[in-house]
Amino acid sequence: MAPLSGMKQKLNVYLGNRPGNSGWASLGLMMLVLLCFLGCAKVGPDYVRAPVRVSDNWLEVDDKRVQTESADYRDWWTVFNDPVLNQLIDLAYRENLTLHIAGVRVLEARAQLGVAVGELFPQTQQAFGSLEKVRQSGRSPLATPGSELGYAQSQIGLGASWELDFWGKFRRAIESADATLGATIADYDSTLVSLTAEVATFYILIRTIEKRLHIARRNVELQKESLQIAEARFQGGTTSQRDVEQAKTVLASTQATIPTLDTQLRQAQHALSILLGRPPSQLSDLLAGKSAIPTPPPQVVVGIPADLLRRRPDIKSAELKSMAQCARIGVAKAELYPAFSLSGTFGFQASDVRSFSLGDMFEWRSRTGSFGPSLLWNILNYGRITNRVRVQDARFQELLIAYQNTVLKAQQEVEDALIAFLRTQERAEFLAESAAAASRSLDLAVLQYREGITDFTTVLTAQQALLNEQDSLASTMGDISSNLVGVYRALGGGWQIRAGQDFVPTPTKEVMAQRTNWGKLLTPVAYTPPSAD
């Protein structure tokens, strides 16, 4: 106690207190003790990254088409060497409305972080003033005979209240808001990964359907020629009416596939239009040019599974969300302990009672004020507060498990897309051989039918086989490209294109700036999310 007594005496001297009048010194001493402890305590657990199970390598690592060196997936779609695809993705990045929503959420999270930081400083800072006419009841307990029942009163001043962050409640809230901002940015990146993959997928689908339509129309022309041959032979009396009807049946069946394919084409174009931030349209202005399925390279660079932890934004988001929730445990736990606050007011007050005047308000003798610490402790609410802590802890555990599950699912998605990409290539090789054989078979069947060596059923069978094999080959070629898109999507590529760019487009920023004072929050800033390392 001796050091505290000496400190109290020094405060008395500094404050000019007379011996025996140590109230202000006691108050100052209490404040000094509180400020010394401020920042020393921070209840609640510190975040520790949950252990995750990551494979050493991919299951298809022995395939020569799978390369495991490190790679940059910033512009992965350029491997298709398709200028139209490049243009579509650039347009989607600038115009997609879902991405714009994700960008505005980043601004919202930035503002929420500012709110959390502001709570670390005096929470209440107010200027007040009033002018009122008061009339007391003549029958009130304090009324005296002859006393004035009515008077006017005015006051003006400043007030402040500051709950000290003794247990780290507000610092934990800042940690939570900071991690939430990082998770929101990761969600924006995840949206961008999905957007680039969806644009590429729908573009490939459009080109694939266009190819299938070309095949169907080409087969219609071949089948019309066969019908003409059958009609000529029927009129010549060398065959029966059955050959003509069979030829018409196959022709009509093939023609019936065209409206279905055209419907699928238009629907794919409509979906792509929405991704580009446009109303449904045919996109003829953007899709003009050579109509060919984008050709992918036979090889793909996938790195190693551990790379997913740093590259996939959904994994980053899952971890940052668990980090934010961990800090909320500390916020809830701080309610178990007493809250220390400093409050004070200073102002001027005057009235017109007796010889006083409202004009005296700004005289120094009219000053009024109060200052001092306070303590608030919810001592009888421990059951409720403890259960709140348990709720936050349970949510934290849920997010830890969700993070672990996200890592596992990410590996599954890469493995699934990779095996589909590799095996679809092998399927395409067989289908190419089959389609070539079906074409030769049809040529022979038509020739033999012309010469009367075989019946028309052989021609019909060959025609149907050719259409099926060519259509399957076109679909499979599109699947190869789509599966490669799936690989890059699973690897978490594409979000890197936003580096150095705003999260919301300039027109949106201008509108928001006119509506609200956003300060510097609308401009791009370098942000490093918190890390468990």
Q: Are 399 and 318 in contact (CB under 8 A)?
A: yes
The pLDDT value given to residue 154 = 86
Q: Kindly tell me if the per-residue pLDDT of 78 is higher than 70.
A: yes
Counting Cβ atoms within 10 Å, is residue 499 exposed (0-12), middle (13-18) or buried (19+)? exposed
Domain-embedded: residue 461:
yes
Number of domains in the chain: 1
Contact yes or no for 319/103 (Cβ under 8 A): no
How many whole angstroms separate alpha carbon 469 and alpha carbon 219? 12
Question: Would residue 143 count as lying in a domain?
Answer: no
Q: How far apart are CA 408 and CA 55, in angstroms?
A: 9
Band (460; pLDDT cuts 50, 70, 90): confident
Distance CA 231, CA 209 (A): 32
Indicate the helix (H) or strand (E) that contains 17: none
The number of residues making up the chain comes to 533
Report the CATH number at residue 203. 1.20.1600.10
pLDDT given at position 21: 47
Distance CA 40, CA 231 (A): 98
Using alpha carbons, list the distances in angstroms from residue 233 to 56, 236, 450.
Answer: 68, 5, 8
pLDDT digits (tens, 9 = 90+) for 259-278: 999 999 999 999 999 999 99
77-86, 197-206, 514-523, 524-533: least confidently modelled range? 524-533
Read off the pLDDT of residues 6-41 as tens digits, 9 standing for 90 and up: 444 433 433 344 444 455 455 555 555 555 555 557
Q: What is the pLDDT of residue 4?
A: 44
Highest-pLDDT range among 122-136, 295-309, 473-487: 473-487
Name, in order, each residue with C-beta under 8 angstroms of 423's C-beta and a sequence gap of 6 or more.
none
Closest CA to 287 of 259, 261, 265: 265
Strand order in the sheet with 150-163: 124-135, 150-163, 339-351, 367-376
Tokens matching residue 206: 């459009």
β-bridge mates for residue 368, sequence order:
347
Whether residue 347 lies inside any domain: the answer is: no
Q: Is residue 373 part of a domain?
A: no
Q: CA-CA distance, 161 to 502, in Å (whole number)?
A: 38
Q: Coil, strand, or helix at residue 456?
A: helix
Choice between 4 and 250, residue whose per-residue pLDDT is larger: 250
Q: Give residue 70's domain range.
A: 42-123+166-337+381-515
Q: Give residue 207's pLDDT.
A: 95
Question: So what's the pLDDT on residue 2?
Answer: 44
- Decide if 9 is inside a domain: no
Give 517's contacts (C-beta < 8 A, 6+ positions apart). Answer: none
Domain assignment present for 295: yes
Is residue 289, in this structure, part of any structural domain at all? yes
Structure tokens of 286? Answer: 């953007």
What is the end-to-end Cα distance of the chain in Å, rounded?
43
In this predicted structure, what is the pLDDT of residue 91?
95
For 114, other C-beta atoms within 10 Å of its C-beta total 12
Mind listing the pLDDT tens digit for each residue in 273-295?
A: 999 999 988 788 888 777 899 99
Q: Pick the more confident residue, 400 or 14.
A: 400
